[in-house]
Structure 1
């Protein structure tokens, strides 16, 4: 009789500037592992889609808003933004060359090839924290999903993004009335306070219902118009 193997199969393993990144297939799913820490897989995508929609809904009805997505991951946020004709420019910042390659010519292409072919899409191979503090461009929405949340960062350096200086830099990247949306695996009232202290308005969290356990959330804040 046939038994299905349950062991994950490693498709690619790379040493990047921030340590090891691994792409593996586990049954139907593709998974990204960074330094042994599970980052994300292709199982659901609900929360990545909500991240983009919540930001879009929090904007006034401005035509063709520009969105910056922090973290390409498995590509759910990018694919969802590109499927929405209301967005204008769609920029994605990803610091891991391996992840970009897996989307351009690897197993993740099936999720993102339509989005990558979209003329609105631009992939920026750089570190999000650096880009946000130094970039000349502004955006109507920043959708950040590079960690498991403000209290649970993937690498030490990401902490600065959620600090007062990091949030001030996010605000500087936003157009007046622009929206900051940050994905988190659990609600953080401390982060809500940090957003308010940084001068963001209409701060709130939107929950993504999960089958069990603490719901994922999107933290939202609006730059004053």
Structure 2
């Protein structure tokens, strides 16, 4: 069996933990401690995050989409495939090394999607972008942790709080969608979404098409489009 080789590492924003980029043949993995955050062979649920969200806003004129977390680009590529040429996508990535990995050792995985004219990469906290512009986004897609809890960056806890969800709803246009990826269910988070005023649907999906671990995607809609 081909052994894993560590290509690079980077501290999390609080400096308390370390992200590690590893490679085994053509396969890549990003680890946080002993937890694998993502693997280049498992893209199904991240792609579903984009497809489910973008399908909900397909009729919107000049849709603006905010993606929290670059990862391995699965969500970004799927969103680009779903959206037309009039769309714009901003990707917020808090760890600069992840962007460097996307343009460097994992460039083949990304397939040039960072150079798409519809895409803007912002090396910043997605929460800052959410709070900075009201009624600005047709869809906000969050895949910055393994679920509605700040694992990579404890500051992300604020994203999933009632106040954070209220801020996300304020940042969405009428009929806009907040979509959140998770490795598993969280009844408390579902309740908070409803308390924040969203219409909520929980979608179960697989890590790799019809196979792999079961993941959860929350599709939370901000009222009805007028």
| Structure-2-length-normalised TM-score | 0.88
2:102–2:110 CA contact under 8 A, matched in 1: yes
Q: How much is the aligned-residue C-alpha RMSD, in angstroms?
A: 2.0
Give the match for residue 204 of structure 1.
201
- Structure 1 residues 212, 110: closer, same or farther in 2, change over 3 A? closer
Rate the CA distance shift 1:107–1:137 in 2: closer, same or farther, 3 A. Answer: farther
* Alignment match, 1:89: 88
**Equivalences for 1:106-145 in 2 at 5 Å?**
106-135=104-133, 138-145=136-143
The within-5 A match list for 1:49-68 is: 49-59=47-57, 61-68=59-66
Contact map agreement 1:142 1:179 (CA 8 A) in 2: yes
Map of 1:12 onto structure 2: 8
Tell me which of 67, 72, 75 is aligned to 1:74. 72
SS of 1:17's equivalent in the other structure is coil
How far is the alpha carbon of 1:65 from its aligned partner? 1.5
Residues 41 and 209 of structure 1, relative CA distance in 2, 3 Å threshold: closer
Structure 2's unaligned 5+ residue stretches are none
2:186 corresponds to: 188
TM-score (norm 1): 0.88
Instruction: Name the structure 1 match of 2:148.
Output: 150
Partner of 2:157: 159
Structure 1, unmatched stretches of 5+, are: none
SS of alignment partner, residue 74 of structure 1: coil
